[in-house]
Structure formats: structure tokens, C-alpha cells
Amino acid sequence: MAIRSIITAPDHRLREVSKPVETVDDGTRALMDDMLETMYDAPGIGLAAIQIGEPLQIIVMDLAGKDDEPEPRYFINPVILDVVEETAVYEEGCLSVPEYFEEVERPAKCSVEYLDYDGKKQILEADGLLATCIQHEMDHLEGTLFIDYLSRLKRERILKKLKKEQRLAAAE
Ligand code: GNR
Ligand code: NI
């Protein structure tokens, strides 16, 4: 396992559309292991493969509290089957938009079909933070970031500050 570096906005790779995984094999599992280790190290509660530069439809997640047993989740080729009309608002953050947190409104519940770590088909009914996180991660697979739901002014302001921070970090 290895910790990989996380790509941050406005890097254009985050705008790529990820491709489905054709076969879930040991290579896929090695990538998911790296993703999980990278996510725990960050730390974050979810990570999409594109965030470490792999344009594949793979998501890892763990919503367990820091004093609880780890509960790693793996989603390969996820598809949202259904969402409810009711919405929920969460203050979202993103490892690819570090240090910024903003409220985002999304469907409060969703059902998602995907392949698990072993390549087995699963269906999950999600609500609460899990539903929000699944939708946030699935957005990454389409090249969408949570800042895309903010006003243009807020988004541009965040991107400008991120660019400036990256410029300063590169000059160190
Ligand atoms: O660590 C993360 N926290 C988070 C909080 C609220 C809603 C979504 C998230 S996902 C984020 C990790 C990340 O960037 N995943 O793509
Ligand atoms: Ni994110």
C-alpha cells in the first residue's frame, strides 16, 4: 500500500470524466488499498480515484468516528438508481479543495448500485452523511466539484485563493 498525492483544484485533471472498471482484479484492489490509505492519511471520509489522478469509476469511503472500528467502503462503477425529492444541507469539504467548507443542498436519500471490493454487485440505500458523501464522490467521477454548486463569485474567490496558495507553496 502507498500514500499517493491528492490533486487539488483548479488542476484540470479533476474535470476529467472517469471510465468504468472493466474487471475487478488484484490491480483494482491494489488501487483501492492505496486510495483508502491516502484518504485515512489526509484525513478524509471519502476519495474518488481521479483525486489521485486515476480516471476510473472507483470510490472509497469510511464514515466511522475516529474512536470507532474502521468501516471501509468500496464502490466500483456506482450508479444512482433513485433519489428522493426531500433534500438535505451539509457543510461539505473536499480534499481537492483544501480548507474550504460550504453548505451544499442535495437529495436526502439515494439508492446506489455498484460492485464491491470483490467485484460483487451490491445495492445500498443511503441517507444522512452517507447519501451526501456518495453523491459528492459520484460528482468527482463526472468531473464535478462541490464548489460548482456555489455562486460564481464564491467559486472564483476560492479558486483564486487556491491558485495563490499553490504559487506560494511552489516558491518555497
Ligand atoms: O473528507 C471529506 N469530507 C466531506 C464532508 C462533507 C461532504 C463530503 C465530504 S467528502 C470529503 C473527502 C473528499 O474530498 N472526497 O471527494
Ligand atoms: Ni471531494
Q: Give 119 Cα–ligand 1 centroid separation in angstroms.
A: 24
23 in any annotated domain: yes
Give residue 140 CA to ligand 2 midpoint distance, Å.
7
Q: How far is CA 10 from the centre of its chain?
A: 16
* Distance separating alpha carbons of residues 121 and 39, to the nearest angstrom: 24
* Structural domain includes residue 17: yes
Q: How far is the CA of 25 from the centre of ligand 1 (A)?
A: 26
Of 92, 94, 97, the residue with max ligand 1 atoms within 8 A of its CB, to mutate for a pocket test, comes to 94
Do the Cβ atoms of 20 and 37 come closer than 8 Å?
no
- Per the domain annotation, does 7 fall within a domain? no
pLDDT, position 101: 98
pLDDT class of 66 with cuts at 50, 70, 90: confident
- Collect all residues with Cβ–Cβ distance below 8 Å to 162 and sequence separation of at least 6: 8, 9, 10, 97, 98
3-state secondary structure (DSSP) of residue 123: strand
Alpha-carbon distance 139 to 149, whole Å? 11
Q: Could you tell me the pLDDT band of residue 1, with boundaries at 50, 70 and 90?
A: confident
Output the average pLDDT for the chain: 97
Closest CA to 112 of 102, 125, 103, 99: 125
Question: Which position among 137, 142, 165, 172 bears the catalytic label?
Answer: 137
Q: In what order do the strands lie in the sheet with 109-115?
A: 46-48, 58-61, 73-83, 109-115, 121-127
Average pLDDT of the segment spanning 81-99: 98
Residues bordering ligand 2, an ion, CB closer than 5 Å: 94
From the alpha carbon of 104, which atom of ligand 1 is closest?
7
Q: Look at residue 65 in the predicted model and tell me its pLDDT.
A: 87
- CA–CA gap between residue 38 and residue 44 (Å, rounded): 9
Q: Pocket residues for ligand 1 (CB within 6 Å)?
A: 44-48, 51, 90, 92-96, 132-133, 136-137, 140
Number of domains in the chain: 1
Sign for the pseudo-dihedral over CA of 143, 144, 147, 151: positive
In a domain, 68, yes or no: yes
**Cβ neighbours for 4, distance < 8 A, ≥ 6 positions apart:** 34, 35, 38, 52, 53
Q: Which domain holds residue 64?
A: 12-171
Q: Does some domain include residue 2?
A: no
- pLDDT-derived band of residue 172, with 50, 70 and 90 as boundaries? confident
Q: Is residue 107 in some structural domain? A: yes
- 165 lies in some domain: yes
User: Among this protein's residues, is 137 annotated catalytic?
Assistant: yes
* CATH label of the domain that carries residue 22: 3.90.45.10
- In terms of pTM, does the model score above 0.95? yes
Contact 110, 82 (CB under 8 A): yes
Q: Is residue 108 in some structural domain?
A: yes
Residue-wise pLDDT for 141-168, tens only, equals 999 999 999 999 999 999 999 999 999 9
The answer to whether the CB of 111 falls within 8 A of the CB of 126 is yes
pLDDT level of residue 58 (50, 70, 90 thresholds): very high
